[in-house]
């Protein structure tokens, strides 16, 4: 399954979820990005990564040279319908590495003779090859170098990188149930997939840090599974301790351990906020909103 097909499907599923409990999240997200857009230089470009259908983006506040970036082929049209605005758009893979990842996975299914490998052998081979893949966001780097945006908004995209590649790999290796089994049983596979995600995110963050732009980022810091009553406590190390509940928690980390805040410690922090977003029944996201000076 190609990236654009995967994202179109994911976006449909995302927008079809019951959104009754999203109100508080959307108010905070729109206020955060609204502030970013109002702070941007009106004469320079503004780049909005993971712009999607604009649910979280108050496009009416966006300066005229604002550009959306999202590889979902319907994202710009949905933005147009939602905001009556048809911004410039880029549809490229932000990680720059998904086509390579997908091609490598597909090659693993085929023997040099042209016959098919067994799925187990293919998955083992893939786990062995993954460390040689180094995603690099070349399209983003080139755009940033060429346009020198005053602000870059990273609109709830970073936490998607891992889930998107898992969906693509599931489709290649026999479906969600089999892929989950391979992740559990194939030596080194889960670690190699996580390490690819870390390399992709670090390269993206490196590009954002290297830009002279103000950077405004909103992303999932944690996904908490099950119907649990939870509060956010004070910030402490390790960050999981801020999730306070009377029962034990099942938590996944969409950023695979990357501390985005730590990576920007040499810039002035303009905003830092956290909140809980009940995305679905039994699925609570802890969101982190961070803004840094240029
Ligand atoms: C949670 S949604 C963001 C929602 C959006 N901010 C809004 O206001 O509607 C994440 C977005 O990232 C996009 N995305 C995910 N992986 C991508 C990639 N590798 N390259 C480009 N866009 C990607 C998806 O298509 C999706 O629209």
Domain range summary for the chain, segments of one domain joined by +: 3-292
How far, CA to CA in Å, does 111 sit from each of 75, 105, 173, 179, 260?
38, 12, 15, 20, 40
CA proximity to 200, closest of 33, 1, 3, 40: 3
To the nearest whole number, what is the mean pLDDT of the chain? 95
CA proximity to 253, closest of 292, 201, 206: 201
- pLDDT band of residue 20 (cuts 50, 70, 90) is confident
Helices 119-129 and 98-108, packing angle to 10 deg = 140
157 ligand 1 Cβ < 6 A: yes
Judge contact between 84 and 78, C-beta under 8 A. no
> 35 — phi, psi (to 5°)?
-65, -40
Compare 112 and 3 and report the one with higher pLDDT: 3
Q: What distance in angstroms lies between residue 109's CA and the mean position of ligand 1's atoms?
A: 29
140 ligand 1 Cβ < 6 A: no
CA proximity to 169, closest of 204, 199, 126: 126
Closest residue to atom 13 of ligand 1, CA basis: 50
Reported as a single tens digit per residue, the pLDDT across 28-44 is 999 999 999 999 999 99
Q: What is the largest CA-CA distance in the chain?
A: 59
The confidence score (pLDDT) of residue 286 equals 96
Q: What distance in angstroms lies between residue 116's CA and the mean position of ligand 1's atoms?
A: 34
The confidence score (pLDDT) of residue 251 equals 95
Residues of the chain with pLDDT > 70, as a percent, come to: 100
Residue 280 pLDDT exceeds 80: yes
The confidence score (pLDDT) of residue 16 equals 84
Judge contact between 193 and 130, C-beta under 8 A. yes
Q: What distance in angstroms lies between residue 264's CA and the mean position of ligand 1's atoms?
A: 22
The confidence score (pLDDT) of residue 14 equals 83
- 3-class SS at 272? strand
67 ligand 1 Cβ < 6 A: no
11 ligand 1 Cβ < 6 A: yes
Q: What angle do CA 18, 93, 162 make, to 5 degrees?
A: 55
The confidence score (pLDDT) of residue 143 equals 98
Reported as a single tens digit per residue, the pLDDT across 254-277 is 999 999 999 999 999 999 999 999
Q: What distance in angstroms lies between residue 54's CA and the mean position of ligand 1's atoms?
A: 10
For domain 3-292, give the fold. Rossmann fold (3.40.50)
94 ligand 1 Cβ < 6 A: yes
DSSP H helical ranges for the chain:
3-16, 23-39, 75-83, 98-108, 119-129, 138-147, 160-172, 176-185, 189-210, 260-263
How far, CA to CA in Å, does 57 sit from each of 17, 32, 75, 158, 229?
19, 9, 12, 16, 29
Judge contact between 155 and 34, C-beta under 8 A. no
The confidence score (pLDDT) of residue 149 equals 97
As a whole number, mean pLDDT of residues 181-193 equals 97
71 ligand 1 Cβ < 6 A: yes
CA proximity to 108, closest of 129, 87, 78: 129
């Amino acid at each position: 399954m190609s990236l654009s097909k995967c994202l179109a499907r994911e976006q449909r599923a995302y927008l079809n979820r019951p959104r009754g409990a999203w109100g508080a999240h959307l108010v905070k997200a729109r206020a955060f990005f609204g502030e970013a857009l109002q702070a941007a230089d009106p004469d320079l470009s503004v780049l909005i990564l993971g712009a999607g259908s604009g649910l979280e983006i108050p496009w009416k506040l966006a300066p005229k040279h604002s550009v959306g970036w999202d590889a979902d082929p319907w994202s710009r049209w949905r933005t147009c319908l939602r905001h009556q605005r048809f911004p410039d758009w880029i549809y490229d893979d932000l990680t720059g590495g998904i086509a390579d990842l997908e091609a490598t996975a597909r090659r693993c299914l085929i023997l040099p003779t042209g016959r098919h490998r067994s799925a187990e052998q293919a998955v083992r081979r893939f786990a062995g090859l993954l460390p040689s893949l180094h995603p690099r966001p070349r399209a983003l780097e080139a755009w940033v170098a060429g346009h020198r945006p005053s602000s870059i908004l990273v609109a709830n995209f970073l936490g998607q990188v891992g889930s998107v590649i898992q969906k693509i790999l599931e489709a290649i290796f026999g479906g969600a149930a089999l892929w989950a089994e391979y992740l559990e049983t194939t030596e080194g596979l889960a670690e190699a997939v996580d390490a690819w995600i870390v390399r992709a995110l670090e390269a993206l963050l490196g590009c954002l840090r290297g830009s002279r732009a103000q950077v405004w980022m909103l992303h999932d810091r944690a996904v908490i599974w099950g119907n649990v009553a939870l509060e956010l406590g004070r910030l402490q190390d390790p960050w999981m301790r801020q999730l306070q509940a009377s029962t034990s928690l099942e938590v996944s980390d969409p950023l695979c351990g990357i501390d985005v805040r730590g990576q920007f410690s040499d810039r002035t922090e303009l905003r830092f906020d956290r909140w809980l977003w009940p995305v679905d029944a039994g699925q609570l996201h802890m969101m982190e909103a961070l803004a840094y000076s240029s």
